[in-house]
Amino acid sequence: MIRHLRHEAIDKQEWDRHLSSCPGPTWYARSAVLDVASPGWEALVDEDGSRMPLTWSRRFGVDYLRQPFLLQQLGVFATGTAQGHVVPFLEALPRRFRYADIYLRPAKQPKPTKGFVFSEHTDLCLRLDKDIPDLRAAYSSNHRRNLRRAHEAGLRLDEQLDPGRFLEFVLGSSQAARWKLSDEQRRVFRGLLALSVAEGNARVLGVRNGRDALLAAGWFVQWQGRSYFLKGLAAPEGREERAMFLLLDQHISDIAGRAGVLDLAGSDDPALARFYAGFGAGRHVYLRALMNRLPAPVRWMKP
């Protein structure tokens, strides 16, 4: 039987212990991460221990499930034979949630589920079980050329980039302006970066030129043998000088053999997917689950 737990009823220490024992645990589902990204999150818990976080919000008086900013995928976390059984959890969602737009970790393709529509999305991941020369040998010829160009331009890695400077570089960029981040998304961005720094599992890198100008920056989180590329950005000059090629190559070099996987957290964008695949990353599918139980006159409106 699947039980619904309000936030105050969740034992967060037990939650994190269970998460760590699941196959393929993810940093996104840690209780401290959920607390920042979705304050007041709730959960569904089965009698076998399987569980699913419910990241919800309220708008116009409607409670709905939504995917928190920067958390690529959540879903059901289970051990043993229950792994990947997501449909019973979707069917057990409290009726007060009239709308849902959430992303589920890789699992078996669900059977048709009343009220839900599923679509596939792409994550690119690079296995790091080889030495760096072998990993680089799997780069595309285009990536190897761009890396040579970055080195010839005299670019260098800044391994001590201040997190505050990283935020300033990213959030103050013209690209961030095009993202149109809400105040809530900016709060989550700052909060998750601060959490990862405080817990000691953040890696914030920059790439500088000979004038010491910051051309690119990236934020990684390393947890339980997996390195997540949470956010990165190259300035216009950095794109010209191929700074992001250098940043990712150096990170791969530094963690090869120490982390099992570099999770590049995307992408459905064809150009970005080609960029990640050029480092040898492989495609993994996760699912979007969309549900709309709003009354007919407002069904076309998202909360």
Same domain, 115 and 135: no
* CA nearest to 114, candidates 93, 130, 131, 135: 93
State pLDDT tens for residues 134-162. 999 999 999 999 999 999 999 999 999 99
Same domain, 40 and 141: no
The pLDDT of residue 115 is 84
State pLDDT tens for residues 176-206. 889 899 999 999 999 999 999 999 999 999 9
Residue 165 belongs to a domain = yes
Residue 269 belongs to a domain = no
Same domain, 138 and 170: yes
Average pLDDT over residues 291-297: 78
Cβ contacts of 65 within 8 Å, gap of 6 or more: 54, 55, 56, 93, 97, 99, 100, 101, 102, 291
Residue 230 belongs to a domain = yes
Same domain, 57 and 161: no
Mean of per-residue pLDDT scores for the chain: 92
Residue 265 belongs to a domain = no
Residue 264 belongs to a domain = no
The pLDDT of residue 81 is 52
Same domain, 96 and 182: no
Same domain, 134 and 112: no
The pLDDT of residue 211 is 92
Q: How far is residue 130 from each of residues 136, 250, 253, 258, measured CA to CA in Å?
A: 10, 15, 10, 10
Same domain, 141 and 116: no
Same domain, 86 and 160: no
The pLDDT of residue 300 is 57
Same domain, 98 and 172: no
Same domain, 98 and 218: no
Q: Is the pLDDT of residue 7 over 80?
A: yes
Torsion of CA 265, 267, 272, 274, to 10 degrees: 100
- Domain total in the chain: 2
The pLDDT of residue 266 is 78
Banded pLDDT at 17 (limits 50, 70, 90): very high
State pLDDT tens for residues 41-84. 999 999 888 999 999 999 888 899 999 999 999 999 987 655 45
- The CATH number that applies at residue 246 is 3.40.630.30
- The CATH number that applies at residue 110 is 3.40.630
Residue 48 belongs to a domain = yes
Residue 195 belongs to a domain = yes
Alpha-carbon gap, residue 29 to 15, rounded angstroms: 9
Residue 282 belongs to a domain = no
Q: Is the pLDDT of residue 106 over 80?
A: no
Same domain, 250 and 291: no
Burial of residue 258 (CB within 10 Å: 0-12, 13-18, 19+) is exposed
Average pLDDT over residues 270-292: 93
Domain boundaries, position 220: 129-259
Banded pLDDT at 302 (limits 50, 70, 90): low
Of 79-83, 209-213, 250-254, the least confident? 79-83
Question: In sequence order, what are the beta bridge partners of 286?
Answer: 121
Of 110-124, 173-187, 265-279, the least confident? 110-124
Same domain, 164 and 244: yes
